Amino acid sequence: MRLVSRLRSILRLRSIQGRYTTAATALLLVVLVVVGVSCDLVIRYRIEDDVFKSAERVASQWSAAARTGGMPEMIPASGGVDLVQLVDAQGAVVRASRRARGRAPLSAIRPPSNDRFQRLHDNGLLLMAIRVSPAPEAPVIYAGSAEPRLLGRHYLELFLAVAALVLLGLAGWLTWWVVGRTLRPVAAIRARMAEITGSDVSLRVPVPAGEDEFALLARTANQSLERLQEVVEQQRQFASTTSHELRTPIAGLRMQLEEALLYPDEVDAVDSIRGALSATGRLEAIVNDLLLLARLRVAEPAARELIDLGKLVTEEAMQVSQSAGVAVYVHAASGVWVSGSQIRLIRVVGNLLSNARRHAAASVEVSVEAIDGRAVLAVVDDGAGVAPADRERVFERFTRLADGRRRDAGGSGLGLAISRDIAEAHRGSLRIEDSPRGARFVLRLPLLHVQGGVEGSASTDHYGPT
C-alpha cells in the first residue's frame, strides 16, 4: 500500500515536485536521445572507417600484385583483414585467402572502370573492392572482414540504450529527491498555517535556515501573523471596551424607563423622557463615532481635494467660537496648501477646537504655518494641560481623563482617536507637544507647493469674548 501511495504521489503532475521531476526527466530524455544517436553514429563510423582503411591497404597491395602477375596461390591474411579474393570478370574466384577459399565471391558488385575503388557493406561484410585496371575484363580484388559483433548484432545500440535508461532513472529520482527536500519547508509552513484559527493566531510558521526565498516567505508570513495578532487583540480589546462604554448609557436608559413604568405616579414623565433622550443622544454619538472609525480603518481612501488649511481653520474657528464662551485667537498663514478630504479635516479641526474650548480657562490660540515642508496646525488652550504620562493615552479609544469627564459627562471618548486616524490617513501626525501652559495639540500634514499661491502673508483674527 505504501508503494502504491508513493507511485500515485509521483504520478500526480499537479504537484510542483511531480511537475519538476517530469519536466527534468523529459528534457534529459531528449538530450540523451540526441547524444546517444550521435555517439552511435560516431562510433559506428569510426570502427567501419578503420576496417575499410585496413582493407584498402591490403586490397591495394594485392591489386598491384595482380597487375604484375605476382599473386600467390594462397593469399595471406594481413592486419585483421582475413577475407581476400581475386574474382575475374565472369565471377569466378581465381585466388583467395584461407578463410575466403571455397566460398562464393564475397560480393556481386563490380566497381566500374571510372570508379575503381569502392567501399562495400554487403551481407554482413565490410569490403574494399578495387578493379585491377580500367579494362573491361579486368578482375576485381575484394579485401575485408566480417562486420564487428558490436555493430552487427546492435550491441552498441543496446549498451547506449541501457546506459541512457540508467541515467534517466537516476536523474529522475535525484530530481524528485532534491525538489522534495527543497519544498520540505513549504510543507512545514502549510501544516502550521492549517493549525492557525481565527480564535488563536499566536502560532508561527517554522523558519528554515538560510536566506533563500522560503526563509523570506516564512519570515514574511510570521510578520503578517504578528500584525494579524495585533489586529485581533485590538479588536477584542475594542469590543470589550465598546461593550463596557455602551452598557452604561443603556443601563441608565433602561433604569429610567423601568422607573417610569413601575412608578408612574412618583416619576415625572417629562424628566424621564428628557433623561432617556440624553442617554439616547450619547448612544447615538458613540455609534456614529464607531461607524466613522470603522470607515477610516477599512474603507477606500476619500477623494483628494486641494485645501487651503489656513482658510479652513479660520472658518471652523469662527463657527466654534459662536458657542464657545472663550476667546479664540487664530493666526493663519495663507497659502498653506494640503491635499486630502475636506470633510475629514474639518472633523479633525472641529475635534481639536472643541477639546481646547472644553479645557480652556479663558482663551484658545490657533496657528497655521508652513515649517520644513509640512503644514503645521497648533491648537493651544490655557487650561490645566495634559500630563506627559497621559499624552499618548488620550488618543486611545474611549479614554477620558478625570478633568474631561468632569467638564463633559456626555462625551464618547472617541474624538481624539478619530482625529489621529484621519491624520495618519493623510500621511500626517497628531501629537501633544510641550507648552508653557495648557495643552498644545499639533497636527502636521504634507505641504503642497501650489504654483501661483500666495506665500508669506498671514492674518490674525479674534473671535469670542475679549
Q: What share of the chain is helix, strand, coil (3-state, %, to 5)?
A: 50, 20, 30
How long, in residues, is the chain? Answer: 466
- This prediction has a pTM of 0.48
* pLDDT band at 277; cut points 50, 70, 90: confident
φ, ψ dihedrals at 125, nearest 5°: -115, 145
pLDDT above 90: percentage of residues in the chain: 10
CA 299 to chain centre: 25
Contact 87, 94 (CB under 8 A): yes
Torsion of CA 214, 220, 222, 225, to 10 degrees: -140
404 pLDDT higher than 60 = no
Residue type, 286: I
Q: End-to-end distance of the chain based on CA atoms, in angstroms?
A: 94
**Which range has the worst mean pLDDT, 72-81, 169-178, 284-293, 415-424?**
284-293
Residue type, 399: T
117: β partners: 130
Alpha-carbon gap, residue 40 to 158, rounded angstroms: 10
| C-alpha closest to that of 415 among 295, 289, 278 | 289
Task: Count the Cβ atoms, other than its own, within 10 Å of residue 396.
Answer: 14
292-302 per-position pLDDT tens digit: 666 666 555 55
For residue 300, what are the CA distances in angstroms to 181, 330, 353, 425, 436?
43, 33, 27, 11, 40
Count CA within 13 A, CB hemisphere, residue 460: 2
pLDDT at res. 396: 79
Return the biggest CA–CA distance within the chain: 158
Task: Count the Cβ atoms, other than its own, within 10 Å of residue 315.
Answer: 15
pLDDT at res. 315: 85
Alpha-carbon gap, residue 311 to 315, rounded angstroms: 6
461 pLDDT higher than 70 = no
CA angle (225, 428, 389) in 5-degree steps: 75
Alpha-carbon gap, residue 322 to 443, rounded angstroms: 23
pLDDT at res. 454: 43
Bridge-based pairing of strands 337-340 and 305-308 is: antiparallel
- 3-state secondary structure (DSSP) of residue 113: coil
24-74 per-position pLDDT tens digit: 899 999 999 999 899 988 988 898 888 888 888 988 888 888 888 778 888
Q: What is the enclosing helix (H) or strand (E) of 458?
A: strand 458-463
Mean pLDDT of the chain: 80
| C-alpha closest to that of 202 among 222, 181, 179 | 222
pLDDT at res. 38: 92
Which class in CATH covers the domain with range 305-446? alpha beta
The residue ranges of every structural domain in the chain are 1-185, 214-296, 305-446
- 3-state secondary structure (DSSP) of residue 438: coil
Question: Which has more confidence, 456 or 216?
Answer: 216
pLDDT at res. 294: 64
443 pLDDT higher than 80 = yes
Rounded to an integer, the average pLDDT of 321-348 is 82
* pLDDT band at 456; cut points 50, 70, 90: very low
Matching residue, cell 524528485: 176
- 3-state secondary structure (DSSP) of residue 444: strand
Torsion of CA 240, 245, 250, 251, to 10 degrees: 90
- 3-state secondary structure (DSSP) of residue 169: helix
φ, ψ dihedrals at 458, nearest 5°: -150, 160
**Which range has the worst mean pLDDT, 62-71, 339-348, 357-366, 457-466?**
457-466
Alpha-carbon gap, residue 232 to 229, rounded angstroms: 5
Alpha-carbon gap, residue 330 to 64, rounded angstroms: 126
Q: What is the enclosing helix (H) or strand (E) of 282?
A: helix 269-298
Alpha-carbon gap, residue 355 to 348, rounded angstroms: 11
Alpha-carbon gap, residue 193 to 206, rounded angstroms: 10
Instruction: Give one DSSP letter per residue of 43-108, joined into a string.
Output: HHHHHHHHHHHHHHHHHHHHHHHHHHT---SEEPPBTTB-EEEEE-TTS-EEEEETTTTTS--S-S
Alpha-carbon gap, residue 143 to 137, rounded angstroms: 19
Rounded to an integer, the average pLDDT of 143-166 is 85
What CATH number is given for 214-296 in this structure?
Answer: 1.10.287.130
Matching residue, cell 566497381: 111
> C-alpha grid cell for residue 51?
576496417
